[in-house]
Structure 1
Amino acid sequence: MKRFVLSLFLVTTLLFLAACGSDEGSGGSTASGDGNGGDDIQELTIKFSHVVAENTPKHQGALAMKEYIESESDGKIEVEIYPNSSLFGDQDEYQNLAANNVQFIAPDLTKFVGNNPQFNVPALPFMFDNDEEAIAFWDGEKGQEILGSLQDDGVLGLSMWPNGGKHITNNARPIDSPDDFEGLKFRTQGGQVLESIYSAMGAGSESIPFGELYTALDQGVVEGQENTFSNIESKKFDEVQEHMTIMNHTRVDYAIFTNTEFWEGMNEATKEIVQAGVDEGTKVAREEAMSLNEQALETIRERGLVDIIELTDEQIQVFRDALEPIYDEYEDEIGADVYEAAREAAGQ
């Protein structure tokens, strides 16, 4: 009987200690949102992964977000930023976000056209003339609806971060008309609309991860690519390309996405700080996009490594006319309502 009583006492004590340890552990530093009771700011480590260089609008926005969250939380929340595909690349960042291995990514929106064809909006040829028009669409009702369309995967889109209009570089020849694309192959971010654009001009397209693009251009895997000035300059694509045509025919627009388990696991005090940090990052990314692209173009000119072709309004109109059938081709898939919202944002 004494042995039985002693054993029962020991078991009860161990169970009590285990329960206490579990309660203490639930408030520790995690990125999954555990310990969401009460109004105290949670101790979290948040990972933010992206694929571009540090001197880009996206990274400047991420830094502003980090600084705000860490300051306002008095260091309880740590934000780790991983640029240049140093944590995850184009091919695996979405899966790792869905698995909550990373809490924020800011990918090119056209990467999601396989999930929802409405993410093709930045690829619609000559839809938006500038960042302001694109922002107006993504901040509007239809844009927000598209950003929120991935929640079945455990992913939530929060806010669009612009990068700017895209321009053409290539190694084969100067390009100033649709006919000049004939027979060439270009790297694109992927997606049906971008493939159709190049097909309409007699060119091929191939999706290559951004982190591998410099090598692909250098080795001749593709003759050319399309990108913003800031991405061309920061990744030094002009070192391995001979010609650049200023086009502004399609766009690179990002959005900041988070994991829904992480997002919903934060208590109100913590989420308020993180949301405000996202807002601050959005403000800075949007402010930096235009100025960094202007600076990047000037740097490219100063380096003098590529021949720069600036198209006239008449030449641009020839491209517009050649690519106009793209709209009819994808109206059913993307939606007439999306077209209408985009054109309204663009003042058309």
Structure 2
Amino acid sequence: MGLQLLEDQAESARALLAPEVLSYYDAGAGDEVTRVESEPAWAGFRLRPRVLRDVETVSTATTAAGVALAHPVGVAPMAFHALADRDGEVATAQGAGRSGALLVLSTRSSRSLEDVAAAASGPWWFQVYVMKDRRLTESLVRRAAAAGAGALVLTGDTPYVGLKRRVSGTRLAVPDDHFLVNLAAHAVPGQSITAQRAAAEQDPAVDLSTIRWLAEVSGLPVLVKGVLRGDDAVACLEAGASGVVVSNHGGRQLDRALPSALALAEVAGAVAGRGAVLVDGGLRSGTDVLVALALGADAVLLGRPVLWALASGGADGVAACVGAVRSHLEHVMALAGACRLDQLGPDLVVAPRAPG
């Protein structure tokens, strides 16, 4: 199963999705500089393979934040999957489980987190937006822990939702039954739909103290997503985080933010093994994953390719997408002279040279 599959799934999704949904999923913030730069940033690295190593058997087994994984290719948190497939995140969870992938479920799931948890046959974590009504966040976090989430992933780069020209604002008009599926049960009695939506928007007053609060509420490890600086990574760890996710939110927040590929080495170096390091943003092949692991990531998360896979083929499409990237990772590991992930290190890669 080659990487052509991902291109075919993307092409199919573009034909199948309603234009406004496609624009919402695909859009970046501002002038989309970060959105455009994220994929080619991985291709700027060059490899220094080893030769004459026994690579007859290649293993992709690993751990991330203490969770045993069959491979390091996971599914990033993304909102409102039911816009792509009527089963939404339930189908995504099924596909992730079939492929042995870690699933990170979004706060903005369009299916109930209990239904998604019931469909998940592999490890899953819950992504957290701290909402203006923190009671809503606390309720969701407790439900996620009770449903079997293994960790929380606090998104730290979204005090406000980034402006996107292609959707004339921040997001398209998501139906109430999608937006509030996990929140309506916790609404204040008599509260209007408009007030419920307002209470569920992100709280811009969130700070580092939120990390420990979430850990105490849930009893789960907390990772912080959206980290692009080494000093921020250290601050998160000192505030109680169990790890970080290097991410620019798919280019959907601060335009001209650094591509994850170019931020990873600094962040991984600052973490220095004291917590888990995951990365998302522009990864499209096993070679990209190889580079990420060599630069210090414990695992990677796929974003838009999973949405295209879901739109074009449901749960089976998601499983096939992840499987194709994992298979390609095994192939390029062998060509690089590595049969285990712990044989991948910074000596394997040469960073892009600065222009000039």
Higher strand share: 1
Q: TM-score, normalised by structure 1?
A: 0.26
More helix by share: 1
* Larger radius of gyration between Structure 1 and Structure 2: 1
TM-score, L = length of structure 2: 0.26
